Amino acid sequence: MSRYQVFNGQLFPEDELLVHATNRGFNYGDGFFESMRVSDGKAPFIQLHWKRLQRACQILQITIPEELTLKTFQNQVLQLSDRNGEPNSRVRFQGFRQGAGRYTPEASKLGWSMTSLPLETSHYVLNKTGLKVEVCRTHTINPAPQSTFKSTNSIPYVLASIEKQKRGLDDVFLTDAEGFLAEATGSNIFLVKDKTLLTPDLSNGGVAGVMRNVVIAVAKEAGFQIKEGLLKMEDALAADECFLTNATRGLQWVGAIDKKRYFKRVSSKLTDTINQKFGLIS
């Protein structure tokens, strides 16, 4: 079966090379990306992804063309998933600044591409074995306006992923220069203490995750208190539970940080609630 990709709104064979060597996203990291989940041919959080796309373009001073609206954005995501025969898929939207120029761009119109990969289920499945996580030792991250979305400059996360692999870990916590927890390599962090969910404040470099927003809203409805603030490893080690969140995998519970072991009661409950609330389980 032939596979497809989207480039500036049009479908092309996936193996066709469409990005020129002068592309600003390639040369300067002048862009961003969104990773979205399609479940049973529907994109349950498309509006949240669209809002973050708009915010990324605003911060990067990239102009969204008139033909790209929430409706066309959603249609292209679902069309790609359908053409690739993947009712359940992970769709990656890659946005970049079109046009020539060096550091100073000659134009600022948004260009984009989309690719997809299949997912096994329409709903979120909590990992059976808890993740083993520790703090990243090689580097920290620096807070900036562009920290809140997924910039194409992902070197800190690439290096952190290499480190976790070398150390035999499932993930690592990235911190800011003062040692406050920011996020994991591709996920936001949540701690559970009694009936309170604690999560790092976005001011210290974490991405404003779509699933982070969903979890906060669902947890509030379930009666949890939400506290966003500056958290250190001491807070993680004092917590009853710890889990990571992103839009494609949902919640992933952490089983161990150093010698501390954790439960998964809250992460399991929230996963079930999100699957039911958003119709991910038929």
Q: Give the residue-averaged pLDDT of 105-119.
A: 95
Residue 119 scores a pLDDT above 70: yes
Phi, psi of 33 (to 5 degrees): -145, 160
Contact 239, 193 (CB under 8 A): yes
**Which range, of 13-17, 116-120, 130-134, 181-185, averages the lowest pLDDT?**
13-17
Per-residue pLDDT, 42: 96
210 residue type, one letter: V
Domain with CATH 3.30.470.10 in the chain: 4-118
**Model pLDDT for residues 145-157, shown as the tens digit of each residue:** 889 999 999 999 9
Structure tokens at 109: 């119109």
Q: Give the residue-averaged pLDDT of 32-47.
A: 97
**Model pLDDT for residues 240-270, shown as the tens digit of each residue:** 999 999 999 999 999 999 999 999 999 999 9
Rounded to an integer, what distance in angstroms lies between the CA atom of residue 41 and that of residue 85? 10
Q: How far, CA to CA in Å, does 167 sit from each of 90, 136, 137, 180, 254?
A: 28, 10, 10, 21, 16
Query: Is CATH 3.30.470.10 the right assignment for the domain spanning 4-118?
Result: yes
Domain with CATH 3.20.10.10 in the chain: 131-277
**Model pLDDT for residues 58-108, shown as the tens digit of each residue:** 999 999 999 999 999 999 999 999 999 999 999 999 999 998 888 999 989
**Superfamily for the 131-277 domain:** D-amino Acid Aminotransferase, subunit A, domain 2 (3.20.10.10)
